[in-house]
Amino acid sequence: MADSAFHRIIPLADLKPGRTHSTVIGGHEVLLCNTGDGVHAVSGLCTHAISRLDEGRLRGHRLTCLLHGASFDVRSGKVMGGPACEPLRSYPTRVTQGFIEVQA
């Protein structure tokens, strides 16, 4: 069974709306995304050709990979635009005592 603990990452105050933060949890690249109405966590690697998404662009809920232009909804990881076909893994998040925590 996978570890389902929440991991404390960074203070919420350090992740402004429209910004992302890359981290590694249990060997997995995870990207925190502050959409302005919440913080979401998805895999930090594009499912199309494994490009790093911390070099991508976040606009609202849409995260766009700059390598070939695939886009994903960071609330669920679902594909919003190709060429990617597979969704990003999505991780539960919460804010506790001012810190963003990710369940992984």
Q: How far is the CB of 56 from ligand FES (least distance, A)?
A: 8
- Judged by CB under 6 A, the residue of 10, 12, 25, 67 near ligand FES is 67
User: Cis omega before residue 87 (within 30°)?
Assistant: no
- Residues from 29 through 48 that contact ligand FES (CB under 6 A): 46, 48
Q: How is the beta sheet containing 20-25 ordered, strand by strand?
A: 20-25, 28-34, 39-43, 90-91
Q: Per CB under 6 A, does 84 bind ligand FES?
A: yes
Q: Distance between CA 28 and CA 101 in Å, rounded? A: 15
Q: Per CB under 6 A, does 65 bind ligand FES?
A: yes
- The residue (of 17 and 69) whose beta carbon lies closer to ligand FES is 69
